[in-house]
Amino acid sequence: MSDDQRDTPHVPAPSLWPIGFAIGVACILVGLVVSVPALIVGVILTLVFGALWLRDVFAPAPAPAPAVETPRYGQITEADLGTPVDRATFLSLATIGVNGLIGAGLAIPVLGFGVLPSFLDEGVDTHEVDLGPITNFPEGQYVIATYLENPDQGEVSRRTAFVRNNGLTDDGVPSFTTIFSRCVHLGCPVQPNGPIDEEAKKDVKGVELRPVLAASFGCPCHGGLYDSEGNRNAGPPVRSLDRFEFSIKNGNLILGRLFSVGRVDGTGAKARISKYYKAYPGVHVDGIERFLYPIPTPGSRG
């Protein structure tokens, strides 16, 4: 070391990279709640500014000025000591490491419990339900179909669907309207607004079928009102009633997975359905409002 006392430790210059890194982390947290695009932007900002920040932190210190004096016998020079790590750099790295471990310990469990279920099927059984021969569904009339979605679970799996035979499409394919009976406001049971023909009730292999003249559907809990296609007409619901996918196998009507509906244009076999992933009640699936709600659970049966 020199004797002129002018050696100063290498301290990283002030940088804006930590601010950009913090903004990226904030975007990630907001994106987890608001929308996937905000999440992607946050990840990009975090990676870019984090890399720039680390580059500055680990940048090598400038080479020290050579000593003017000739070292005396037994004197240790800076070249003998190698590249020093000054106190400021050590404390900065230690603080970043400790804060990173603390942050990971706090964030990982929260993200695991709060976000991971949104990308899992949550163990929901999605097996198909056989409602019986399509001849049990008169063309142009709704039938209330009540069934056990999972007989092994008993009554807790009882579901209700409003099914209407729409006849054939222009391509000669059978068309059915298969509406789920849960209100998309808070999940209350929806009732058909029309007389139910109890005398024509049928029980086909555990599936109860009751014809109904449903001009519309209503939720008795909070006043939600839907038209005959399931479109929201009034009240607090935020979208149309959810529907079931369906198929025809060996002449029987098979209900499949649930999906959410933004809007239905037209009626019956000529209806055009805005189909979306299955969303929770109260969650928008179209329009700008959809960015204001958490990520729905794919594959949920409701």
CA–CA distance from 103 to each of 46, 107, 110 (Å)? 14, 6, 11
* φ and ψ at residue 96, rounded to 5 degrees: -60, -45
**Do residues 32 and 59 both lie within one domain?**
yes
CA–CA distance from 187 to each of 80, 142, 235, 293, 297 (Å)? 75, 21, 14, 17, 15
**Do residues 97 and 148 both lie within one domain?**
no
- Domain finish residue from 57, 80, 114: 114
Provide the mean pLDDT of the chain: 79
pTM for the model: 0.61
Rg of the chain in Å (alpha carbons): 32
Q: Evaluate whether residue 297 is within a structural domain.
A: no
- Domain finish residue from 114, 140, 167: 114
**Do residues 43 and 102 both lie within one domain?**
yes
Give 171's DSSP letter.
Answer: T
203-224 confidence digits (pLDDT tens): 888 899 999 998 899 999 999 9
- For position 230, what pLDDT does the model report? 93
**Do residues 49 and 93 both lie within one domain?**
yes
Interval 135-145 mean pLDDT: 92
Interval 144-162 mean pLDDT: 87
**Do residues 238 and 272 both lie within one domain?**
yes
Q: Evaluate whether residue 2 is within a structural domain.
A: no
Instruction: Give the contacts of 195 (CB within 8 A, at least 6 positions apart).
Output: 212, 213
- For position 247, what pLDDT does the model report? 92
CATH classification of the domain holding 166? 2.102.10.10
Cβ pair 196, 293 in contact under 8 A: no
Domain count, the chain: 2
**Do residues 36 and 163 both lie within one domain?**
no
162-193 confidence digits (pLDDT tens): 999 999 888 888 999 999 999 999 999 999 99
Asked if the model's pLDDT at residue 80 lies above 50, the reply is: yes
**Do residues 26 and 69 both lie within one domain?**
yes
Q: Evaluate whether residue 123 is within a structural domain.
A: no
Cα 272–chain centre separation: 25
The residue range of the domain holding 71 is 17-114
